[in-house]
Amino acid sequence: MKFVKIILEFKLAKNEFPIEYRKTILSFIKKSLSDCNSGKYYDKYFKDNIQKDYCFSVDLPGPKYKNGKIELYKDVIKVIFSADDSKKTNLILYSAFIKQKGKVFKLENNNSMKLISVKVKNSENIVNCRAIFKTAKGSSICVREHNKEQNEDKYYIYNDSEFREKLAIVLKNELKNIILEKDIEEIVVNPIQCSKCVVKHYGNYIDTSIGLFEISAKPYVLNYLHTVGIGSRKSAGFGMIELVTSDLV
């Protein structure tokens, strides 16, 4: 499998961004797919609860949370997408984003953003069975347990006693049709140096984790997790991880 990252650079009309910036980027993705090839691929990613094979993070320069918005020290932000190539997701997203280049995308508070750059970068190939990752800037790991009967969500962070167990369930549900079952059972995620991060998402405040994580698994599994992210709600701006080192004994 080939893994790539798509790096988008936007210029803002004002040096600020919405607090719920993940929702903003989701709206941009939907707009991009709707405008590309007459919306041919929109349902592929946004019909019902289809599992998506990409994640993204938002790099905001010098963010300061103030007066219900995020103030920035400059008017340029970056959004990094990481996608699996096996179903051409990177090509589909790249094509959709390219068509938005130079167009103004309106934001709240009379602000707007314009896509000024679209670049592609290959991801590192992991060949060992153990690696240390860090949460990408602007991202965090979300582990959600959904109660269908009561339609309620419960979130777990790195120091909860059930964190590893709940994350293992999330991974198993996500990977069962992609990774061999015996290889899924071998995945071990250990928080190393982490902290709690509270995120506002669609009006709700949820607990997530940021920091360093050691993950043990087959190399092809580590590469996949590195590409599509780890945890819940990855395609909504959570779970992107960056490789720190895989040179471990």
Helix (H, G, I), strand (E, B) or coil at 37: helix
Range in 83-97, 207-221, 225-239 the model is least confident about: 83-97
Does position 183 have pLDDT exceeding 80, yes or no? yes
Helix orientation angle between 21-35 and 89-98, rounded to the nearest 10 degrees? 90
pLDDT of 3 above 70: no
- pLDDT value at residue 249: 60
Q: For residues 194 and 163, what is the distance between their CA atoms, to the nearest angstrom? A: 13
Asked if residues 7 and 80 have their Cβ atoms less than 8 Å apart, the reply is: yes
Residue with tokens 């961004």: 17
Cβ-based neighbour number of residue 188 at 10 Å: 12
What percentage of the chain has pLDDT greater than the value 70? 98
Cα–Cα distance for residue pair 61/77, rounded to 1 Å? 7
Read off the pLDDT of residues 122-151 as tens digits, 9 standing for 90 and up.
Answer: 878 899 999 999 999 999 999 999 888 888
Has residue 2 got a pLDDT over 60? no
What would the mean pLDDT of 19-31 be, rounded to a whole number?
A: 95
**What mean pLDDT, rounded, does the chain reach?**
92
Choose which CATH entry (3.40.50.1820, 3.30.70.1890, 3.40.640.10, 3.40.30.10) describes domain 3-122.
3.30.70.1890
- Whether the CB-CB separation of 84 and 77 falls below 8 Å is answered with no
The mean per-residue pLDDT over the stretch 171-187 comes to: 93
Residue in the block written with tokens 């989701």: 26
Spatial contact of 100 and 198, defined as CB atoms under 8 Å apart: no
Architecture of domain 130-245: 2-Layer Sandwich (3.30)
The answer to whether 3-122 and 130-245 have equal CATH topology is yes
Give the dihedral of Cα atoms 88, 91, 95, 101; nearest 10 deg.
140
> Which residues pair with residue 9 across a beta bridge?
78, 117
Domain range list for the chain: 3-122, 130-245
- Residues across the chain: 249
Q: How many CB atoms lie within 10 A of CB 133?
A: 25
Higher pLDDT, 234 or 87: 234
Q: Cβ distance 11 to 103 under 8 Å?
A: no
Pairing of strands 54-59, 76-84: antiparallel
C-beta of residue 39 within 8 angstroms of C-beta of residue 47: no
Judged against a pLDDT cut of 70, whether residue 30 lies above it is answered with yes
| Interatomic CA distance for residues 52 and 41, integer angstroms | 12
| pLDDT at 53 > cutoff 90 | no
